[in-house]
Amino acid sequence: MTTTAHGYAAPSADAPLAPFSFERRDPQPDDVAIDILFCGVCHSDLHTARGEWPGTLYPCVPGHEIVGRVRAVGSDVTKFAVGDVVGVGCMVDSCGHCASCADGEEQYCETTGFVGTYNGPDPVLGGHTFGGYSDQIVVKQGFVLKIGHDEKDLAAVAPLLCAGITTYSPLKHWKVGPGQKVGIVGLGGLGHMGVKIAAAMGAEVHVFSTSPNKREDAIRLGARDLIVSKDEDAMAAHTGTFDFILNTVAASHNLDQFLMLLKRDGTMTLVGVPEEPHPSPSVGALVFKRRAIAGSLIGGIAETQEMLDFCRDHGLVADIEMLAMKDVEQGYDRMQKSDVKYRFVIDMATLEK
Ligand SMILES: [Zn+2]
Ligand SMILES: [Zn+2]
């Protein structure tokens, strides 16, 4: 049995998103049915909808930064009740029994891979999954998060479900904390959350950006200062002083200029995947100070809940601009020019049915 949902979909790679109706399964025993209130707009949405990454299945309903209210629960659901405010991030399922799933790292599921909130194989109805640019979604309770923030902040909570966990997970994994000097490369949707979270963890945070005019904002978000990465003297002044660098820039760039700033045993973790490869980093820069370059992908469900609770306890939400559903293409165009501070969030009340 299914229920008709309404949303916006890209019908093909070269056609704009437009109103689209489709079927959601009725809640099975382990499912939570959610009326969507807000959905953040992630760069992955744009890349997928416009076919800039291989493998988009059309029609494509993007959206994996979802906040909503529980409308119904299946008979086996114990963690959630009707009326609860909940979130859904980038995943809606995984195999549940491989080593990564057993460790609560479902994003690294080794058998089937995790099931994406959109553009993944729909485990129940067949076909592919449809995301959060819609009025409702049905998700297994194990992939639903509890939201404890104030109701007035819910729109700004939505981006935590992808941008928040993508930055929290590596900061936590590499044990960022008080007494450490931490760099955040890039001040966009991911970077601005990285600054807030690293500062809340007690680190001294420095932002690397090509644009000096972001300095005031970087400091407002919690950074000690902004280092202009094109300024060789400014960069050289920090050589060998950073404990950890979180690099959020997906465009191909020279990694060595940041590697040189790490202390002995320092790590730079990359969370963006470039279309064109980065120039090969200097092995000497790695070897002589036992430095490391690492990667990190979102975070597991338990860690996503931990991140949401951490953000609630520290009063952290994203800096957002609200977007009406029908204006999503204008939002994409502005995102491509980095003209958003720092995340668009769609108010699902603007969706015309
Ligand atoms: Zn995302
Ligand atoms: Zn698995």
d(CA 161, CA 139): 15
What is the residue-wise DSSP string for 201-223?
A: TT-EEEEEES-GGGHHHHHHHT-
In a domain? residue 9: yes
Reduce the secondary structure of 112-126 to three states and give it as a string: CCCEECCCCECCCCC
Assigned domain for 344 exists = yes
Residue 322 falls inside a structural domain: yes
Where residue 247 sits, what CATH number does that domain have? 3.40.50.720
Strands 91-93 and 2-9: unpaired
Provide the angle, in degrees to the nearest 10, between the axes of the packed helices 163-173 and 301-313: 100
Beta bridge partners of 24: 3
Residue 335 within a domain = yes
pLDDT at 215: 97
Q: Assess whether 158 and 168 both reside in one domain.
A: no
- For residues 53 and 151, membership in a common domain is answered with yes
Residues 209 and 339 in one domain: no
**Alpha carbon distance 115, 109 (integer Å):** 9
Check whether residue 12 and residue 127 sit in a common domain: yes
Asked if 27 and 135 sit in the same domain, the reply is yes
| pLDDT tens, per residue, the chain with 353 residues | 999 999 999 999 999 999 999 999 999 999 999 999 999 999 999 999 999 999 999 999 999 999 999 999 999 999 999 999 999 999 999 999 999 999 999 999 999 999 999 999 998 999 999 999 999 999 999 999 999 999 999 999 999 999 999 999 999 999 999 999 999 999 999 999 999 999 999 999 999 999 999 999 999 999 999 999 999 999 999 999 999 999 999 999 999 999 999 999 999 999 998 989 999 999 999 999 999 999 999 999 999 999 999 999 999 999 999 999 999 999 999 999 999 999 999 999 999 87
> What is residue 271's three-state secondary structure?
coil
pTM: 0.97
Q: Note the ligand closest to the C-alpha atom of 88.
A: 1
Tell me how far the alpha carbon of residue 115 lies from the centroid of ligand 2, in angstroms. Answer: 10
Same domain for 87 and 203? Answer: no
Alpha-carbon gap, residue 163 to 249, rounded angstroms: 13
Ligand 1 mean position to 52 CA, how many Å? 15
pLDDT for res 350: 98
Burial of 11 (0-12, 13-18, 19+ CB in 10 A): middle
* Domains identified in the chain, total number: 2
Whether 106 and 188 share a structural domain: no
Half-sphere exposure of 13 (CA within 13 A, CB side): 9
Q: For residue 190, which ligand has an atom nearest its CA?
A: 1
Instruction: Calculate how far, in angstroms, residue 44's C-alpha sits from the geometric centre of ligand 1.
Output: 5
Same domain, residue pair 267 and 236: yes
Predicted pLDDT at 132: 98
Q: How many whole angstroms from 111 Cα to the centroid of ligand 1? A: 22
User: The tokens 């699902």 sit on which residue?
Assistant: 348
What pLDDT does residue 24 have? 98
Q: Which domain holds residue 190?
A: 164-295
In a domain, 61, yes or no: yes
Distances (CA, A) of 275 to 67, 208, 249, 250: 30, 21, 11, 8
Residues, beta carbon < 5 Å, ion ligand 2: 94-95, 98, 101, 109
- Span from the CA of 96 to the centroid of ligand 2 (angstroms): 5
Q: Kindly state whether residues 250 and 338 are assigned to the same domain.
A: no
Q: Are residues 140 and 199 in the same domain?
A: no
pLDDT for 352? 86
Across 133-156, b (16+ Cβ under 10 Å) vs e yields bbbbbbbbbebbbebebeeebbbb
Query: If DSSP codes are grouped into helix, strand and coil, which group holds residue 316?
Result: coil
Q: Is residue 310 part of a domain?
A: no
Structure tokens at 54: 């291989």
Residue 143 is part of a domain; what is its CATH number? 3.90.180.10
Q: ∠ CA(336), CA(337), CA(340), 5° rounding?
A: 90
**Interatomic CA distance for residues 87 and 74, integer angstroms:** 17
For residue 231, report the distance from its CA to the centre of ligand 1, in Å.
Answer: 31
Statement to judge: residues 201 and 114 lie in one domain: no
Residues 82 and 8 in one domain: yes
Number of residues written out for the chain: 353
